[in-house]
């Protein structure tokens, strides 16, 4: 079997009304066609502020630089293809993630097995969802309003809705600016805790916004609200700071390393320093499932629990992480798999469903979805109109 053609489609997906701080999500769908007639599909929604990649950049990178170097290769030879992509382009993890997902989809369809089986085997039937509440979620706002944190009352209502509608048991609140508005951020946590009760696990994600001193102070203050984990308290480049925070807060709160790991070497650095209590494994940071599985092995060797993370994709881009989580015993933490719930548009016939706080792991071959070609056409048409 050979890779015959790689198709790249730019999509625009609408958010539900006031669900997010922007009205649409601009992503890329990659279709890899093979000589055996099998087509694999991957999706990515690059986040410029996170990975430095854009929809335009990802589509150009795949079309002009990666795809020409992959035509004619055996799509089942992942080790060779990953090596080839790394030779063709440094970084560009989002672009590589979409290709890696499509290749795993092909391998699963070829073997008539779900991707989780190919990744090692299914050890979970259901993945518990860690539901994210953004500071600038947009509820009650109109397009064009200034971006800023929603009120504690709105956050509490969002948390209650997630619990009632989807049975969510794990909630992660993203902080806006603790340094400038400490009381307000703590109030947001307090109101969410009050709304959901003590049975729901609460996390706070800082996305690298604090100095070690402030992070240690925040950890102390969060104790009152029984927050289980604080994610990436210090900037992504500050390994010393992360290590200091983790060692200083002790068992008060668990520290998760996320934004600081975009390579296996960085995962190893966190482990070597004992700078975190758990790792957020995002295919979109590692360049796909292949390398994510290797990162899970590093976590495994260090006896560190993991969670799977993802970007802003629809169900298509959510599924690789579901298979990764389902096939890893080290994925002991709930998966960051809620973003597609905010989108009005999805690209699958049957979008990924959250029930009783969990996502069912598909049993169908490949990634386990059917692309809704009509919806894809509409999303592509919308993207052409988007300036
Ligand atoms: Mg994070």
- The total number of structural domains in the chain stands at 2
| Per-residue pLDDT band at 110 (split at 50, 70, 90) | very high
Dist. CA 337 → ligand 1 center (Å): 12
Dist. CA 36 → ligand 1 center (Å): 39
Dist. CA 372 → ligand 1 center (Å): 30
Asked whether 352 and 102 are in contact (CB, 8 A), the reply is no
Task: Based on the fold, state whether residues 80 and 153 are members of the same structural domain.
Answer: no
Average pLDDT, the chain: 94
Task: Based on the fold, state whether residues 75 and 140 are members of the same structural domain.
Answer: no
CA gyration radius, the chain: 20
- pLDDT tens for 340-353 read 999 999 999 999 99
Task: Based on the fold, state whether residues 175 and 248 are members of the same structural domain.
Answer: yes
Q: What is the DSSP string of 3-23?
A: EEEEEEEEEEEEBPTTSSSSS
Mean pLDDT to the nearest integer, 151-162: 92
| Per-residue pLDDT band at 142 (split at 50, 70, 90) | very low
Dist. CA 133 → ligand 1 center (Å): 12
pLDDT of residue 149: 67
**Cα–Cα distance for residue pair 222/316, rounded to 1 Å:** 35
Extract the tokens encoding 323: 């298979």
Angle ∠(233,239,241) on CA atoms, nearest 5: 55
Q: Is residue 317 part of a domain?
A: yes
**Cα–Cα distance for residue pair 340/359, rounded to 1 Å:** 12
Mean pLDDT to the nearest integer, 260-274: 98
Task: Based on the fold, state whether residues 18 and 138 are members of the same structural domain.
Answer: no
Task: Based on the fold, state whether residues 187 and 140 are members of the same structural domain.
Answer: yes
**Cα–Cα distance for residue pair 266/262, rounded to 1 Å:** 7
Dist. CA 40 → ligand 1 center (Å): 28
Dist. CA 316 → ligand 1 center (Å): 20
Q: Is residue 366 part of a domain?
A: no
Task: Based on the fold, state whether residues 182 and 285 are members of the same structural domain.
Answer: yes
CATH number at residue 219: 3.20.20.120
Tokens 């096939």 sit on residue: 327
Q: What is the DSSP string of 186-197?
A: HHHHHHHHHHH-
| Per-residue pLDDT band at 140 (split at 50, 70, 90) | very low
Asked whether 215 and 182 are in contact (CB, 8 A), the reply is no
Asked whether 330 and 304 are in contact (CB, 8 A), the reply is yes
Q: Report the predicted TM-score, pTM, of the whole model to 2 decimal places.
A: 0.96
pLDDT for 150 beyond 80: no
Calculate the CA 217 to chain-centre distance. 28
Dist. CA 119 → ligand 1 center (Å): 24
Dist. CA 110 → ligand 1 center (Å): 34
**Cα–Cα distance for residue pair 66/112, rounded to 1 Å:** 27
Query: What is the spatial order of strands in the sheet that 39-44 belongs to?
Result: 3-14, 24-34, 39-44
Mean pLDDT to the nearest integer, 274-299: 97
């Amino acid at each position: 079997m050979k890779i015959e053609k790689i198709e790249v489609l730019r999509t625009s997906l609408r958010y539900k009304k006031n669900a997010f701080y922007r009205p649409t999500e601009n992503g890329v769908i990659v279709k890899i066609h093979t000589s055996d007639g099998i087509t694999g599909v991957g999706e990515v929604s690059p986040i410029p502020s996170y990975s430095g990649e854009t929809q335009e950049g990802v589509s150009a990178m795949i079309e002009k630089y990666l795809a020409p170097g992959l035509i004619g290769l055996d799509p089942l030879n992942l080790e060779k293809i990953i090596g080839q992509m790394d030779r063709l382009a440094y970084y560009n993890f989002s672009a590589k993630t979409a290709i890696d997902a499509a290749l795993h989809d092909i391998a699963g369809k070829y073997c008539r097995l779900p991707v989780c089986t190919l990744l090692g085997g299914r050890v979970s039937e259901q993945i518990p969802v860690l539901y994210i509440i953004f500071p600038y979620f947009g509820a009650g706002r109109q397009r064009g309003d200034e971006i800023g944190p929603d009120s504690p009352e709105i956050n509490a209502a969002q948390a209650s809705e997630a619990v009632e509608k989807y049975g969510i048991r794990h909630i992660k609140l993203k902080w806006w600016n603790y340094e400038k508005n400490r009381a307000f951020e703590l109030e947001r946590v307090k109101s969410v805790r009050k709304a959901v009760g003590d049975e729901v696990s609460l996390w706070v994600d800082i996305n690298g916004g604090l100095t070690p001193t402030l992070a240690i102070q925040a950890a102390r203050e969060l104790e009152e609200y029984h927050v289980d984990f604080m994610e990436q308290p210090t900037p992504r480049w500050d390994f010393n700071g992360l290590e200091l925070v983790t060692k200083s807060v002790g068992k008060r709160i668990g520290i998760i390393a996320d934004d600081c790991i975009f390579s296996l070497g960085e995962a190893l650095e966190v482990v070597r320093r004992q700078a975190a209590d758990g790792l957020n494994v995002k295919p979109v940071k590692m360049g796909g499932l292949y390398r994510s599985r290797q990162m899970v092995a590093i976590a495994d060797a260090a006896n560190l629990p993991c969670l799977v993370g993802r970007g802003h994709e629809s169900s298509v881009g959510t599924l690789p992480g579901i298979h990764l989580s389902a096939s890893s015993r080290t994925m002991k933490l709930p998966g960051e798999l809620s973003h597609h719930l905010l989108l009005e548009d999805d690209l699958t016939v049957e979008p990924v469903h959250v029930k009783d706080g969990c996502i069912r792991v598909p049993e169908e071959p490949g990634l386990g979805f059917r692309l809704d070609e009509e919806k894809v056409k509409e999303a592509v048409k919308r993207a052409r109109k988007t300036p």
